[in-house]
Amino acid sequence: MSNSITLFVADDHPMLLKGLLDELKTYNYKVVGTAVNGASALEQIMALDPSIAILDMEMPMLTGLEVIQKVKERQMETKFIILTSYKEKGFIHKAKLLNIMGYIIKDEPFKELHHCIQSVSKGVPYFSAVFNEVIDNEITPELQKIKLLSPSERTILRLVAQGNSSKEIGELLSISSRTVEKHRSNIIAKLDLSPETDALVIWTKEYKEFLSNL
């Protein structure tokens, strides 16, 4: 099975890239190209059309997710695996929105990546346990709370995230500051936050990646 899969690998750390290539060769994978930055990765993936591209999350010029977005816009068949050190919910949420097929943490045994490649090659997504834990325990519960917000509350939440005060939000929406404060109180209750002054602002900073799709 490994011989029929063509792989492309991109990582901006040359030593890590070499180690990864050595491991892939021991499993008889065919690596058709490599890159150490996102721009080169994009150009080569477009030209080589590999079965699977394994990308680091953060790379110069274009991130792994930006590369995936641009390739998907061309409606190519290449499937994507993110190989990264990032376990933060913001990165995982972005990856989830792009419907990537695999997400593996770098400090896991290489065998995890091998299992991921085999699964993805069959069209079955494969994610690190950390990915699923963050989705289930951190991301999904917050998204469910956001669904409870009314359209007006979502608008105000976006404006809070942009750093606007209640007075500024009132002026932008042509409503009174008192009405804005009432909306903020409702939002805080629905998101199950403490009633502290900065609780909502802190939440928007932590979950800012969630707000782009409100």
Contact 42, 67 (CB under 8 A): yes
Residue 29: band (very low, low, confident or very high) from pLDDT cuts 50, 70, 90: very high
Over residues 150-179, the mean pLDDT reads 90
Give 2-132's CATH code, choosing from 3.40.50.2300, 2.60.40.1120, 3.30.300.30, 2.40.50.180: 3.40.50.2300
> What are the residue boundaries of the structural domains of the chain, listed by start?
2-132, 148-211
Residue 99, sorted as left (phi over 0), alpha (psi -120 to 50) or beta, turns out to be left
Give 148-211's CATH code, choosing from 1.20.58.220, 2.60.40.10, 3.40.50.300, 1.10.10.10: 1.10.10.10
Residue 100: band (very low, low, confident or very high) from pLDDT cuts 50, 70, 90: confident
In this predicted structure, which of 121-125, 156-160, 197-201 has the lowest mean pLDDT?
Answer: 197-201
pTM: 0.74
**Cα separations in angstroms, 106 against 11, 54, 86, 89, 90:** 11, 12, 9, 16, 18
Structure confidence at residue 86 (pLDDT): 75
CA nearest to 27, candidates 87, 130, 89, 117: 117
CA nearest to 8, candidates 97, 40, 159, 16: 40
